[in-house]
């Protein structure tokens, strides 16, 4: 087994010994997993540079990962299921997604229990660090990855790229996504390093002269040489997109993160007591949100769900808000946190089934390797409207046929695709805000307030029923070409101009798209040539909207069928952050209806729609019960959907008073 050892460093009662119904109390276990993998094993052959990593005396490649477990204190009272979440940039997000726990402003060691949904249902929960560039702490989980070495025994040097779009003017920028470990510049005076600027992702780049920027940081008005930052003499301007290409001499085996997830899932699935605190688990499910949802798609693309002993690691996989892309999880100089930089994460294929790519090329599907090798899990792809508006999500279920025509793709037998209509990337809520605490970005309008957690909770239960009892889940639900619910972004923007008054709309020509990607002759080896050459753009489709401006396709919560607002999956950038014609790729918007007739608004008022608050809630209850009957929501969450709707009704009244 590729997990050589689990070093437990701390055990304690979880949440002060709180009792979670029939499951009882939980225990928290923190420690480190040590892995020892065989580069020659066929199940590891697609991990880029694994054969160039240093080996131990046993001939294996060793690395370590942070690990955290929450398990029933009495295992017999649990449901014998383990939900393994891939930490998103080192953070534990599942408590907020499933337990509706309030997110803390800054990550801490604390794991809030929220309403205890996962624990009341008896799930054990695990987190395993997989990302090499996370700056590890008590709050952030990461991986100690080995370096890929050249013949001289030093990390391999080569070309990498860093792209960023500032939200405020500044002079110094870290050579990494957000706050992660950067790839340092190997030569601070490298003459062939380049820095470009462009107005949008669809604009042509402009080369900035080499003497106007430097590897360094500003201190007291002077440039201090520094391999991990760059300085632009004139300063980086908000809304502009910058891209620096340079040579680095750090070369982690990024794909070890994929093996860490696989082998941890296998360890908790099969290892006996006493080394495995989860011994007795019958089903293991992997969950990833956003970045890690894309990583799970990459995991399946590489066919990694069989371990070195040909055992299935995961019975089911839930890729949430991952869209149709993958990521920088298995190539040389990969940056796991980036998602909008064109590169390896944007490459074809996007759909499960083998399809021809745009232009010439052999048909390929995301699941080809996993299906061929065996070990295919049950898979849910759940997405918000934001993943459609950022340009890629429709490629999950719309593609080119052999005659080059765009068609709706038939559902795959092992997967389900669900679009949570009218939502943004993360669950919305009240009070309304326009500020993104993660990166300082601001929307022109208040963010989307729709809370989709009832749909996600039902999806987990349906996935378990499918994997463990062969009970077919509800049918796929998403925009389609054949019924007119999949349309272009330009069509929706045009429609919205006549629905919501005084609306500043994004420019369709400056929205993100997925393009053909040319990474050079060694791309299939995981070695890229930068900057990439982008070709023709793939088509982008989003959900058509109704007379209220709300999406017609997908799973529609009562917020859309008994609405008090127009809820969009897009939001233009605030003018103060630059490029107001572009959108914030992960945020939506809320436009409440007027409370009473007579407002300068073509949408009917709340008073015209609903005779009273009680009449409104009666309609919400009926809509919620319909979702339960279709198994898109759980009966236990009807009160939650009612409470959410009531809060938004009250907020709409206040907003329009």
What are the DSSP calls for 591-638, one per residue? Answer: EEPPSSTTSS-SSPPHHHH-SSHHHHHHHHHHHHHHHHHTTSS-GGGH
Confidence check: pLDDT of 516 > 90:
yes
Task: Please tell me the predicted confidence (pLDDT) of residue 18.
Answer: 96
- With beta carbons less than 8 A apart as the criterion, state whether 272 and 232 touch: no
Among 320, 332, 328, 272, smallest CA distance to 149 is for 332
Percentage of the chain beyond pLDDT 90 is 94
Task: Please tell me the predicted confidence (pLDDT) of residue 210.
Answer: 97
- With beta carbons less than 8 A apart as the criterion, state whether 241 and 165 touch: yes
Confidence check: pLDDT of 106 > 90:
no
**DSSP classification of residue 202:** T
The pLDDT of 396-404, averaged and rounded, is: 90
- Give yes or no for a cis peptide into 349 (omega within 30° of 0): yes
Confidence check: pLDDT of 1 > 80:
no
Tell me the three state secondary structure of residue 82: strand
**Number of other residues whose CB lies within 10 A of the CB of residue 353:** 18
Residues 6+ apart with CB under 8 A from 656: 592, 593, 594, 595, 596, 599, 606
Residues in the chain: 657
CA dihedral 561, 566, 572, 575 (to 10 degrees): -160
Average pLDDT, the chain: 96
Q: What's the pLDDT band for 285 if we cut at 50, 70, 90?
A: very high
Q: What's the pLDDT band for 108 if we cut at 50, 70, 90?
A: confident
- With beta carbons less than 8 A apart as the criterion, state whether 267 and 312 touch: no
Q: How far apart are CA 392 and CA 395, in angstroms?
A: 6
The pLDDT of 481-496, averaged and rounded, is: 97
Using the Cα atoms of residue 134, residue 135, residue 140 and residue 143 in order, give the sign of their dihedral: positive
CA dihedral 381, 383, 142, 39 (to 10 degrees): 30
Q: Are strands 61-72 and 26-37 parallel, antiparallel or unpaired?
A: antiparallel
Task: Please tell me the predicted confidence (pLDDT) of residue 413.
Answer: 96
The pLDDT of 89-95, averaged and rounded, is: 95
Confidence check: pLDDT of 261 > 70:
yes
Confidence check: pLDDT of 363 > 70:
yes
Phi and psi torsions of 354, nearest 5°: -65, 120
Task: Please tell me the predicted confidence (pLDDT) of residue 105.
Answer: 64
Start-end ranges of CATH 3.40.50 in the chain?
3-147+253-417
Task: Give the pTM.
Answer: 0.97
Strand intervals (E) in 401-453: 406-408, 415-420
Question: b/e per residue, 74-95, with b = 16+ CB within 10 A?
Answer: ebeebbbbbbbbbbbbbbbbbb
Confidence check: pLDDT of 657 > 90:
no
517 Ramachandran zone, left/alpha/beta (phi>0; psi -120 to 50): beta
Is 3-147+253-417 in CATH node 3.40.50? yes
Q: How far apart are CA 472 and CA 643, in angstroms?
A: 30
Q: What's the pLDDT band for 178 if we cut at 50, 70, 90?
A: confident
Using one digit for the tens of pLDDT, what is the confidence trace for 460-476? 999 999 999 999 999 99
Using one digit for the tens of pLDDT, what is the confidence trace for 577-611? 999 999 999 999 999 999 999 888 999 999 999 99
Distance from CA of residue 263 to its chain's centroid? 22
- With beta carbons less than 8 A apart as the criterion, state whether 477 and 632 touch: yes
Confidence check: pLDDT of 103 > 80:
no
Q: What's the pLDDT band for 429 if we cut at 50, 70, 90?
A: very high
The pLDDT of 326-352, averaged and rounded, is: 96
Q: How far apart are CA 399 and CA 440, in angstroms?
A: 36
Q: How far apart are CA 640 and CA 172, in angstroms?
A: 46
């Amino acid at each position: 087994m590729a997990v050589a050892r689990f070093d437990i460093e701390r055990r304690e009662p979880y949440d002060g010994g709180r009792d979670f119904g029939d499951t009882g109390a939980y225990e928290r276990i923190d420690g480190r997993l040590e892995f020892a993998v065989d580069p020659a094993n066929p199940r590891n052959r697609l991990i880029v540079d694994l054969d160039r990593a240093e080996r131990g005396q046993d001939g294996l490649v060793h690395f370590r990962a942070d690990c955290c477990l929450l398990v029933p204190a009495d295992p017999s009272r649990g449901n014998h299921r383990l939900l393994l979440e891939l930490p998103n940039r080192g953070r534990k997000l599942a408590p907020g997604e499933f337990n509706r726990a309030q997110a803390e402003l800054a990550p801490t060691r604390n794991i809030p229990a929220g309403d205890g949904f996962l624990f009341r249902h008896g799930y054990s929960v695990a987190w395993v660090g997989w990302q090499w560039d996370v700056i590890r702490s008590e709050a952030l989980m990461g991986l100690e990855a080995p370096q890929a070495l050249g013949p001289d025994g030093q990390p391999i040097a080569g070309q990498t790229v860093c792209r960023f779009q500032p939200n405020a003017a500044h002079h110094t920028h870290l050579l990494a996504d957000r706050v992660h470990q950067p790839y340092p510049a190997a030569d601070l005076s490298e003459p062939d390093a380049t820095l470009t600027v462009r107005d949008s992702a669809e604009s042509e780049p402009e080369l900035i002269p080499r003497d106007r920027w430097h590897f360094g940081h500003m201190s007291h008005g002077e440039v201090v040489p520094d391999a991990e930052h760059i300085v632009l003499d004139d300063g980086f301007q908000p809304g502009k997109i910058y891209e620096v290409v340079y040579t680095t001499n750090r070369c982690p085996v990024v794909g070890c993160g994929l093996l860490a997830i696989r082998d941890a899932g296998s360890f908790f699935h099969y290892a006996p007591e006493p080394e495995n605190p989860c011994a007795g688990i019958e089903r293991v499910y992997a969950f990833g949100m956003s970045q890690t949802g894309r990583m799970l798609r990459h995991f399946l693309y590489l066919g990694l769900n069989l371990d070195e002993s040909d055992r299935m690691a995961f019975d089911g996989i839930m890729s949430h808000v991952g869209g149709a892309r993958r990521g920088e999880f298995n190539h040389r100089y990969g940056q796991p946190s980036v998602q909008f930089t064109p590169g390896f994460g944007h490459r074809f294929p996007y759909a499960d089934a083998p399809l021809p790519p745009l232009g010439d090329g052999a048909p390929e599907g995301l699941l080809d390797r996993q299906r061929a090798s065996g070990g295919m899990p049950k898979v849910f792809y759940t997405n918000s409207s934001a993943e459609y508006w950022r340009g890629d999500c429709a490629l999950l279920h719309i593609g080119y046929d052999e005659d080059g025509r765009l068609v709706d793709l038939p559902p795959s037998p092992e997967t389900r695709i669900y679009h949570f209509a009218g939502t943004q990337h993360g669950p919305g809520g009240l009070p309304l805000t326009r500020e993104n605490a993660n990166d300082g970005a601001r929307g022109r309008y208040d963010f989307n307030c729709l809370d989709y957690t009832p749909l996600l909770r039902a999806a987990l239960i349906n996935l378990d029923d499918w994997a463990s009892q062969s009970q077919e889940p509800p049918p796929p639900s998403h925009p389609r070409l054949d019924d007119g619910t999949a349309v272009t972004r330009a069509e929706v923007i045009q429609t919205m101009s006549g629905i919501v008054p005084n609306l500043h709309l994004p420019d369709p020509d400056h929205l993100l798209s997925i393009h053909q990607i040319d990474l050079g002759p060694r791309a299939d080896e995981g070695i890229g040539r930068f900057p990439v050459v982008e070709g023709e753009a793939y088509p982008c489709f989003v959900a058509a909207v109704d007379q209220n401006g709300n999406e017609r396709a997908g799973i529609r919560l009562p917020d859309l069928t008994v609405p008090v607002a127009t809820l969009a999956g897009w939001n233009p950038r605030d003018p103060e952050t630059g490029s107001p014609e572009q959108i914030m790729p992960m945020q939506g918007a809320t436009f409440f209806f007027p409370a009473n007739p007579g407002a300068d608004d073509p949408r009917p008022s709340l008073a015209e729609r609903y005779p009273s608050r009680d009449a409104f809630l009666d309609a919400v209850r009926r809509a919620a019960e319909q979702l339960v009957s279709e198994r898109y929501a759980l009966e236990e969450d009807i009160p939650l959907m009612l409470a959410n709707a009531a809060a938004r009704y009250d907020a709409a009244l206040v907003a329009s008073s």
